[in-house]
Amino acid sequence: MKDHQIPKATAKRLPLYYRYLRILHNAGKLKVSSTELSEAVQVDSATIRRDFSYFGELGKRGYGYDVESLMQFFAKTLNEDHMTNVALVGVGNLGSALLKYKFHQSNSIRISAAFDVSEDLVGRIVDGVPVYPMDDMKEQVKIQQIDVAILTVPAQHSQDLVNDLVEAGIKGILNFTPARITAPKGVLIQNVDLTNELQTLIYFLHSGNVLSHEEPVEELTGEE
């Protein structure tokens, strides 16, 4: 990989490329062109070639890309050969939906623990995931070597919980709350505001503008 930093927009497209390459590999396809990839993932071929160029020479001019080797390369890049344990903080409506999702598009992501304040949930196994009280969160994050947390709690409690997660050793947080949380440098925060996403979509729908695939509306920050 080249020394300069990979753009965030490129990083966000890598799982998309990887998933489609897995589909091609399972179908027995041996090679694929950037044009074929473009039609499948709805990203223009020039963008795909630019994305791939950050990682060196991944294909041959006039030949295309070897599906198996490219799939294995992105699997390694995305740490698909390493299981990442994830904590879900807040087992409300959205949290419960995320537990049911099971992240079926990846073999390397597992929600291993959930945390909530509800006495009706604590101590239960919900969709295969044990639900612990919030008081046990820091201890369980350390014991289970959890690196990533999904936050689906009321906004007013989010920052205090983030502070506890960071103290326990969490390195990345997927924030579904409307609060803009902060964390020390080195802890990545990705904000997913569903209302904002919908409003953005409606804006582009009625404005006549085109929402580019090269301009993801999600926000990824490494807070100071």
Known binder of ligand: residue 92?
Answer: yes
Q: Decide the pairing of beta strands 109-116 and 129-133.
A: parallel
Residues 151/162, Cβ–Cβ less than 8 Å:
yes
Known binder of ligand: residue 210?
Answer: no
Known binder of ligand: residue 90?
Answer: yes
Contacts for 4 with CB less than 8 Å, ≥ 6 apart: 54
> For residue 221, how many other CB atoms are within 10 A of its CB?
16
CA gap 213, 37 in Å, rounded: 14
Helix, strand or coil, per DSSP, at residue 54:
coil
Known binder of ligand: residue 94?
Answer: yes
CA gap 14, 1 in Å, rounded: 14
**Binding site listing:** 90-95
**Binding site listing for NAD(+):** 90-95
